Amino acid sequence: MSMLTMANTTLAQKKHYTIEEATLGLYTNLATESIKQASWQPETNNFFQVKDSFWICTNVANGKTDTPLTLRQLNNSVFGKDSLKSFPQIQWLSKDQIYFRWANRIYSNYQGRSGWISKELPKGAENLYVSPFTEHYAYTVENNLYLNDHQVTFDKDPNIINGHSVHRDEFGIDHGIFFSPKGNLLAYYKMDQRMVKDYPIINWLSMPAQNHNIKYPMAGDSSHQVSLWIYNPQSQKSIAIKTGKPLDQYLTCVSWSPDEKSVFIALLNRAQNHLQLNQYDVQSGNKIRTILEEYDPKYVQPQHGLTFLPGSNTEFIWWSQRDGFMHLYLYQTNGKLVRQLTKGQWLVNEILALNAKTKEIIITSSKESPMEKHSYAVNWTNGDLRRIDFEEGYHNCIANSTGTYLFDVYSNAQVPKNSVIRHTDAKWSKIILSSKNPLEEYEKPITKNITLTADDGTLLYSKLILPASFNPKKKYPVIVYLYNGPNVQLLKNSFPETGNLWYDYLTQKGYIVFTMDGRGSSNRGLKFEQATWHQLGTVELLDQLKGVDYLKSFEYVDASRLGIH
């Protein structure tokens, strides 16, 4: 048998994806094996995970393993019967406190107490937040806020909303309830959107289709008005923070001082080109000072709150793109810039933890490549930077609260998923799960990483994905798949190599797929992302046309059947 015949026989034996597998397979039957409910017990080196019906604890410093809780024990203690068929999502509040929500109840367990404490939530309770160090829990029912069984706000108009996320979840905002560090006070957003016009949302799944109006502030029209309030459970009174006018400014980066005496808010004007970070007194609501200001002729895009150094009420880490890339700066609350902590033509992606002993911030960043993410330690006294992991690819990490260990799950084009425990001194690591390739039995396309150049010289990272049985003498229809939008990145060095089983599915149907992260997409710095400012649809198209020209240079591309999606 010739080598060509053998190769064709091998291809014929490989499976093709169904449409369901191409769209949902990575989350269902083709998902890589994962550690379930990975978490760190606060203030310890104890790593927790769920295996079958057991909640397992491993002290990664000495390797000792224990089983603090089984599903049977939990069922017997909480329900007296087998109500739970699998472990609920257990959340840590502090070293000695855990809780989970089941149906309309919260179940909490405090070390040193026997059994679980059960608290009932009213019907329709949403946005649940539980405070560490106290027994307070806050939530919303429709448009009003509650603390424990006490109603905090009493707004009857449904367009005055308390305790919800605001500003359409922009500027890093994803919630509207903020417990103070010790749990003694509660900050919350109040949003008045009565002045905002209705926007129709059609539900096409019902028969006949139904309309549901939402409040959506269109450009040039009236926007909602947001304020921040502080509720004191002892006095059972709320006060408004005096953020001033204009009333339609954006309030973001809400952060508490560790001593609970101040709250910090970033005020962003509606034009989004001027930001003020202000400090306010939580007893009076009065402004104490403006700590810093940021301007940009196009836009300022705050994404993160303040991170205070351990044991300090006056020194904090501030995120800024002022030098063109998202970096960290050490500030004092009196407005003094101490130093820039990270610098270079790369971005900081996350702050994972702070290590008080080594005076290091544990971060992830794109320093090695915009298509990869790695973990680093940054010394906050001198800015020294060192890498923690060493494997190429895309690393998603969870740090313990002391910043001494990471749970690192990474993949790359060849590695489906490795789950690793590593010390942040970078001297020790251990793979605790090496996941098998769930796509092994499926036909794999040929993937080529391509770098093109935009009109202004900017590098454009791209992928050319060819059918497994590719024949350069044959002509193929081509699909260009793109999303050059803000805060989106399609191309990464992760598994699967193509980035999307939908691409694989198309190649199995005889198509070539081309995809590019053009200007306007994320993780490449401010100049790259701001290229689309006031010209959406122009720069992105020019970049994609560079890709189209590249494709047309190949004889195997059927230019008459080239589609952009």
pLDDT at 466: 98
Q: pLDDT at position 563, please? A: 58
Rounded to an integer, the average pLDDT of 218-222 is 92
Question: What is the pLDDT confidence band of residue 212, given thresholds at 50, 70 and 90?
Answer: very high
Question: Are 280 and 264 within 8 A, CB to CB?
Answer: yes
544-549, long-range: CB < 8 A, 24+ apart: 544/480, 544/482, 544/484, 544/516, 544/518, 546/452, 546/453, 546/454, 546/455, 546/460, 547/452, 547/460, 547/462, 547/480, 547/514, 547/516, 548/480
- What pLDDT was estimated at residue 536? 87
The predicted pLDDT at position 111 comes to: 72
Q: Provide the pLDDT confidence category of residue 13 given band limits of 50, 70 and 90.
A: confident
Q: Does residue 254 contact residue 228 with C-beta atoms inside 8 Å? A: yes
Higher pLDDT, 7 or 284: 284
Q: Give me the mean pLDDT over the 109-138 stretch.
A: 89
CA 434 to chain centre: 24
Q: Are the beta carbons of 76 and 85 closer than 8 angstroms?
A: no
Q: What is the mean pLDDT of residues 539-549?
A: 94
* Residue 93 identity (one-letter amino acid): L
DSSP code string of 305-341: --EEPTT-SSEEEEEE-TTSS-EEEEEETTS-EEEE-
List the beta bridge partners of residue 421.
407, 430
Burial label for 246, CB within 10 Å (0-12, 13-18, 19+), is: exposed
Residue 58 pLDDT greater than 90, yes or no: yes
pLDDT, tens only, 363-400: 999 999 999 999 999 999 999 999 999 999 999 999 99
Length of the chain: 565
Map residue 430 onto helix, strand or coil.
strand
Residue in 368, 557, 559, 351 with CA at minimum distance from that of residue 472: 557
Which of the pair, 22 or 12, is modelled with greater confidence? Answer: 22
Q: Which residue has the tokens 């494709």?
A: 551
Cite the DSSP H helix spans in 321-463: none
Region 330-355 average pLDDT: 98
**What is the structure's pLDDT at 562?**
66
Question: 30's torsion region: left (phi>0), alpha (psi -120 to 50) or beta?
Answer: alpha
Binned at pLDDT 50, 70 and 90, residue 134 comes out as: confident
What does the pLDDT read at residue 264?
A: 98
pLDDT for the residue numbered 565: 56
pLDDT at 52 over 70: yes
Q: Give me Rg for the CA atoms of the chain.
A: 26
Whether the Cβ atoms of residue 349 and residue 362 lie closer than 8 Å to each other = no
- DSSP β-ladder status, 476-482 and 512-516: parallel
Q: What is the pLDDT of residue 82?
A: 82
pLDDT band at 80 (very low <50, low <70, confident <90, very high): confident
**What's the mean pLDDT when you consider all of the chain?**
94
Are the beta carbons of 137 and 110 closer than 8 angstroms?
no
pLDDT of 269-307, one tens digit each?
999 999 999 999 999 999 999 999 999 999 999 999 999
Residue 19 has pLDDT above 60, yes or no: yes
The mean pLDDT value for 507-528 works out to 96
Q: Which two tokens stand for residue 474?
A: 């044959």
The pLDDT assigned to 463 comes to: 98
pLDDT in tens, 451-505: 999 999 999 999 999 999 999 999 999 999 998 888 899 999 999 999 999 999 9
Q: Read off the tokens for 373.
A: 């993410």
Which of 333-337, 352-356, 537-541 has the lowest average pLDDT? Answer: 537-541
CA distance 449 to 325: 25
